[in-house]
Structure 1
Amino acid sequence: MPIEVPFDDQEASTDVDLKTQLVRFVITGAGSGILDFGLTLLLQYVFGAPEWAAKAVGFVCGTTMAYLINRRWTFRAEPSAARFFAVAVLYLVTFAVQVGIYTGLSRLWDEQIHWSLLAFVIAQGTATVINFVVQRAVIFKIR
C-alpha cells in the first residue's frame, strides 16, 4: 500500500468539482514549490551544486510530495499502478521542462537569488499548468 497523506478520513472519490480541485492543487503546489525552491537554493548557494543538479533534487522532492497529496486530497483518487505510471511519465516531461527553463534562464542572467527566484517562478509556473491540465483531464480519469 502506498504512503498516504491523511488530510481527512473521507473515502477516495473522483467526484470533486473543478474549483475545489484547483484550490487544492494550488495549495499543494505552493507547499511543494516551497520545498523545491528551498532545496534548490540550499544546494546551489550553500553547498555550491550546479544549478541543474540543485534544481533536479528540489524538483524530485517537491514533486514526490505533490503527487502524494494530490492523489489523496486534490483528486481523491484510489491507488492505481496505471495512474502511478502515467504520473511518472508526466513528471519526467515536466522535469525536463522545469530543469531546462531554470538552467537556461540561470545561465542567461547573473547568479543572484532574485534572478534565481524569477527563473524558478517561470519554470514552476509552466510545469504547474502542464501538470494540472494533464492530471485533471487524463491521469485522474484512469481507473
Structure 2
Amino acid sequence: MATHTERRGFLGQASRFVVVGVIGALIDSGVYALALHLDVWVHAARALSFVCGTTAAYALNRRWAFRVSGGARQATGYAVLYGVMFFVILGANAHALAVFPAAWWAVPLAWIVSQGFGTTCNFVMLRTVVFRDRRFVSAGPT
C-alpha cells in the first residue's frame, strides 16, 4: 500500500506533468497551426509540431516535473521514448484523419486525439522508466 509521502510525490509529479503538458501542447498546437497555415503537408506539420513541443517538454519535465538533474541515462531514455512516441503519435494522427469524415474539424480533432493518446503513454513511461524516482517506488500499487 502506498504511503502518504508516496501519494503526495505521485500527485505532485502528476500535477507538474499536466502543467508542462499544457505548455508543450500550446507550443505543439501553435507550430501545427502555423505550419498548416503555411501550407505544409499535414503529416510534416504534425511531425514538426511534435518535435517542437517535445523539446520544450523535455527541458521542463526533467528540471521541474520530475526534478532530476542531468544525466546521460535520462536523456537517452527520453530520446528513445520520444523516438517511439513520434511514430505512435504520427500513426494515431494519420489513423484519426483516415477515420474521420472530410470536415473542417477533422484535422484539429486528429491532433487532439493523437496528443491525448501520446500524453497518457508519455506520463506512464516517464514516471516508470525515464525519470524513475526510487523514493516513490513501492512494492505495492500506487
Residue in 2 aligned with 1:29? 21
Residue in 2 aligned with 1:90? 81
- State the one-letter code of the partner of 2:110: A
Q: Equivalents in 1 of 2:113, 2:69: separation in Å? A: 32
Mapping 1:74-85, distance limit 5 Å: 74-85=65-76
Q: For residue 104 of structure 1, report the CA deviation from its aligned partner.
A: 2.5
Residue in 1 aligned with 2:123? 132
Aligned with 2:62 (options 65, 71, 75): 71
Q: Equivalents in 1 of 2:103, 2:23: separation in Å? A: 25
Conserved? CA contact 2:96–2:113, under 8 Å: no
Q: Equivalents in 1 of 2:95, 2:129: separation in Å? A: 29
Can you give the 5+ residue segments of structure 2 that lack an aligned partner in the other structure?
A: 1-7, 135-142
Conserved? CA contact 1:51–1:106, under 8 Å: no
| TM-score, normalised with respect to structure 2 | 0.82
The sequence identity of aligned pairs, in percent, is 37
Task: Indicate the structure with greater helix content.
Answer: 2
Residue in 1 aligned with 2:137? none
Aligned with 2:45 (options 54, 63, 77): 54
More divergent stretch after superposition (80-89 vs 103-112): 103-112
Q: Does structure 1 residue 101 correspond to structure 2 residue 101? A: no
Q: CA RMSD in A?
A: 1.7
Can you give the 5+ residue segments of structure 1 that lack an aligned partner in the other structure?
A: 1-15
Q: Equivalents in 2 of 1:53, 1:80: separation in Å? A: 31
CA deviation string 1:72-123 (max 9, x = no partner):
00000010111101100000111111111112222443252x2222111110
- State the one-letter code of the partner of 2:73: A
